[in-house]
Structure 1
Amino acid sequence: MTHPPSPAAAGRSALAALALCALLPALGTSIANVALPTLVQAFGSRFESVQWVVLAHLLASTTLVVSAGRLGDLLGRRRLLLASIALFGLGSGLAAAAPGLWSLVAARALQGAGAAGMMALGLALVAAAVPAQRSGQAMGLMATLSAFGTALGPALGGLLLAGLGWRALFLLQLPLALLALGLAVRFLPADGPARTAERFDALGALLLALTLAAYALALTQGAAWGLRGPLLGLAALGLALFVWAQRRVAAPLVNLAQLRAPRLRAQLLATALVAVVLMTTLVLGPFHLVHSLGLDAAGLGLAMAVGPACVALVGWPAGRAVDRWGSAAVGRLGLLGMLLASTGLALAPLAWGLAGYLGPLVALTSSYALFQAATPSALLAGVAPMQRGLVSGLLNLARNLGLVSGAALMGAVFVQALPSGGLGRAGPAEVAAALRHSFVLASGLLLLALAVAWARLAPPRPPA
């Protein structure tokens, strides 16, 4: 005779399922990057075509994350999370079995659609399932596993690629998705009745998806296609149409009045600005490590793993700090630490070598872990339960847009600071100087984020 698990054990298992929902989207994104050169050879395609294996996942997850959160609020978060995990697993299996490049791209888009629901609904369900006095620890765990997935992807992907081939990178994700699905089915509490009286705003969802797709494509492919201006114009037109449509429906996808709340706007702005700065280390860091400091491939891999490893190590203690001292104080401390570390990267001379880069990087990413643990706790604690899916989707959207914008903005600043002739003619000192220019801008963005946080992010009042 089997006995049902104790409430504490069931709660831990439910949290494990939600933690996997943070791990898998991050792992699914980062593990594919290392396979691109191999896929060029495997399919006999150009890099411009193969990079859609990464872009399809990015576009699907970015354009659908808000709609997934809203659908979860209407239909039931557990129901939609189970569907999202199943879709992610299906995409993983189809990617592993893909007979050609474009079938692989389609499978990755399915994965990205599933990842959108997992990201939005995982955070919302944590806020609902974990007692308020332990929400910081739970959010810290989610941040830790997301960072761990980002760090694990390139290393694990390289090993699998060398030993088993590119299909193993996607096949690995299928049993992990099945584990998450099994835990979620068994341990997540059942949803209440669906809110069928409210209709889903399909037009708003379509307009928002097209707007976000145009913006993301403008920043990732616009220059190569010679269409950056037209795509940005299309994104601006789509945004105007989206706002117009939201004002004319009874149950909009995004309540624009809610976005006028100072606290929500401040959290979303700070999240986007922090993501821009984080992308500076991910995109520009490798150029500095290789061209300025002379690291080989193995050294580069180890150095690039330092940042995600710091987030993974600090995430859980950061969550405990949120529970003890409050999300506002810890979030501000995280932003202040990031500002000081970014300033250090902007000032560190090349003569300080690897230590002059990794020291501030450790401080930057550890402070980011503090901010990352505090932000969802602060935001979702002040939101009515029926809105948590939508707000969680908006938070993930702000982060994704910050990452996409950061890659384009900081890349442009870096290239502009290089001497004529570009990276190929730049010496170590010139590459290091270009990196410092980028971190001067990053420090300015963090100063703005800190000012916003100090002015707007007072401790929230729980909803009635």
Structure 2
Amino acid sequence: MGMLDITIVNVALPEIQKSFSSDFSTLQWVLNAYTLVYAMMLLPVSKLGDRFGKKGVFLMGLVIFIIGSLASGLAPNDTWLNAARGFQGIGGAAMMSLSLAIVTLAFPDRQRGLALGIWSSVTGLAISIGPLIGGSLVDTLGWRAIFLINLPVGLVAIVMGALFIPKSEPTQKGSLDPLGMIFSTVMVFSTILALIQKETHASYAWTDRRIVGLFALALVTLIAFIVTERIVKAPMIKLSIFRSSSFVGSNIAAFALGAGIYGGFTYLSILMQNYMGYSAFQTGLKLLWISVFTLILGPLTGLVAGKIGNRWLISIALLLGMGGILSIAKLLAVPFTWSDLFIGFILLGFSNALVNPPISNAAMGAVGLADVGMASGVLNVFRQLGISFGVVILGISVTNGYNDKLNSGLSRLSQLPPAFSSQTAAVKGELAHLLHQAGPFAGQQIFTSHQAQVFKQLPIYGQLHRVVFQAFQSGMVRACLMIAIILGIGVVASIVLIKDNKKAEVVK
């Protein structure tokens, strides 16, 4: 439920907008409020689990998540919904971070790989299956159902957790390290918010004071956090865990996975819905080709990692992802067809299925059992930062490629007939303004908008469709190449940093 609620809302946004008559910027906070609070709370809830016991804090997170889901499902307006989504994010962070720690502690070494494989498979499946579940619920029961469905599932999880999760004693004594919690929360908050600002305001440059200021705040609080953790007796995070190259390598791989594959889901969904004409539900069905392999292969990857090592399994998985995304970049052509994506989706499916379990295994195996709570929090933060970074940087790649190709395409449009010849420059300028204003994600909608109707009388109108689609193709190819670069960085980091000799790697 925790990861599902990051992606499930995407397909419900049009219905939410109709229900509340919200503007686009307000609507985006239905997504961003959850993501922002979720990311900033991952480290604090891990510390609370270490201090007060993981089972209790995990169950409390479930309760908070259910209350937030109920409040979201009953929201009378968009302000209420955004606030409820933020509250829901607190519970989502506790569920995700502490569930990984609980699974790690619940199994001996010989079974832990399989257990983490199952946990990681569910995580990867939840992210990629969100649009399918969301689309089916919205189409049949309305947008409120995507939140209310969490109530029965959550109540079952609370009962099962209370009965079957072993009672856990605190693994850390002493104070809660309030300064560390404050600095880490502000650091993650300002980093994610800066990325959100860039995502929601395409006109902002990276040097805009509203973005630079947030990144500067993140840097200052990061330095303050490091200084604090070095001097307090019971630090929120033992900085010594970063002495393990395997722990560092697995976190870089998690960041690359989030930025490359999970961040890329957003733009693959836009391609299929806005340019290929698939409905939300049909798009979810197509994305099953990426997610379904986690059900088959995910639980087994922990066993495979024991044979060939986490380092090589992560590297192979990320290389498969590179192959899949480069296949899409090579085959994607106007008019877009499913055959352009099929091979790439298969390879991305294998990558998604194989990569999550060994990342979790390598990270958890690189720290002592007393530190798995904080380690799981750090790993989830890196994954979530990767998703946020990927959505922004890939969006910039798509937009830049779209605008460059659009300008060159418009300049080559056929000349207008004599009746319009004196107005050629003005008409093309107005077309360019309209299409740039709509942006690369408008897709087919731009041709059915009220503003576009005035151009239908022009003989060049028929050429515009191909120009716009070719422009988006150019943007998607750039984004695919960026994904390949990000995944390549993950491959290099995995090969160089991750070690498979556990005894030498575990940081006490």
Tell me the TM-score range normalised by the shorter chain. Answer: 0.7 to 0.9
Alignment correspondent of 1:213: 189
Alignment correspondent of 1:148: 125
- Equivalence map 1:375-394=2 (5 Å): 375-394=359-378
Structure 2 counterpart SS, 1:192: coil
Are the equivalent residues in 2 in contact too, given 1:272–1:401 (CA < 8 A)? Answer: yes
Shift of 1:224: 4.4
Amino acid aligned to 1:218:
A
Amino acid aligned to 1:439:
C
- Equivalence map 1:298-317=2 (5 Å): 299-317=282-300
Shift of 1:58: 0.8
Alignment correspondent of 2:412: none
Structure 1 residues 427 and 39, CA gap change in structure 2 (3 angstroms) = closer
- Equivalence map 1:41-440=2 (5 Å): 41-192=18-169, 195-196=172-173, 198-222=174-198, 224=200, 227-289=210-272, 293=276, 295=278, 299-350=282-333, 353-418=337-402, 419=405, 420=407, 421=436, 423=440, 426-440=467-481
Amino acid aligned to 1:303:
K
RMSD, matched Cα = 2.5
Q: Which moved further from structure 2: 453-462 or 172-181?
A: 453-462
Are the equivalent residues in 1 in contact too, given 2:273–2:283 (CA < 8 A)? Answer: yes
Shift of 1:193: 5.2
Structure 2 counterpart SS, 1:459: coil
* 1:442 equivalent in alignment to 2:483: yes
Distance in 2 between residues matched to 1:95 and 1:158, nearest whole Å: 17
Shift of 1:259: 1.9
Shift of 1:104: 2.4
Shift of 1:80: 1.2
Shift of 1:305: 3.5
Structure 1 residues 124 and 205, CA gap change in structure 2 (3 angstroms) = same
Shift of 1:36: 2.2
Distance in 2 between residues matched to 1:150 and 1:258, nearest whole Å: 28
Amino acid aligned to 2:272:
L
Are the equivalent residues in 2 in contact too, given 1:127–1:380 (CA < 8 A)? Answer: yes
Unaligned runs of 5+ in 1: 1-23
Shift of 1:373: 1.3
Shift of 1:353: 4.1
Alignment correspondent of 2:430: none
Structure 2 counterpart SS, 1:109: helix
Q: Deviations for 1:8-50, whole angstroms, at most 9, x for unmatched residues?
A: xxxxxxxxxxxxxxxx112222232333222223233323223
Q: Which moved further from structure 2: 289-298 or 61-70?
A: 289-298
Structure 1 residues 460 and 102, CA gap change in structure 2 (3 angstroms) = farther
Structure 2 counterpart SS, 1:252: coil
Structure 2 counterpart SS, 1:250: coil
Shift of 1:324: 4.4
Are the equivalent residues in 1 in contact too, given 2:44–2:181 (CA < 8 A)? Answer: yes
Shift of 1:293: 4.9
Alignment correspondent of 1:21: none
Shift of 1:156: 3.0
Q: Which moved further from structure 2: 281-290 or 122-131?
A: 281-290
Distance in 2 between residues matched to 1:96 and 1:298, nearest whole Å: 21
Q: Which moved further from structure 2: 68-77 or 145-154?
A: 145-154
Distance in 1 between residues matched to 2:273 and 2:5, nearest whole Å: 26
Structure 1 residues 131 and 325, CA gap change in structure 2 (3 angstroms) = farther
Shift of 1:325: 3.9
Alignment correspondent of 1:456: 497
Structure possessing the higher radius of gyration over alpha carbons: 2
Are the equivalent residues in 1 in contact too, given 2:38–2:92 (CA < 8 A)? Answer: yes
Off by >6 Å, runs of 4+ in structure 1: none
Structure 2 counterpart SS, 1:41: helix
Structure 2 counterpart SS, 1:245: helix
Query: Percent identity at matched positions?
Result: 25
Shift of 1:349: 5.0
Unaligned runs of 5+ in 2: 205-209, 408-435, 441-445, 447-463
Q: Deviations for 1:416-459, whole angstroms, at most 9, x for unmatched residues?
A: 12223453664333322322222222222222221221112111
Shift of 1:173: 0.3
Shift of 1:384: 0.8
Distance in 1 between residues matched to 2:73 and 2:257, nearest whole Å: 34
Distance in 1 between residues matched to 2:21 and 2:359, nearest whole Å: 44
TM-score (norm 2): 0.80
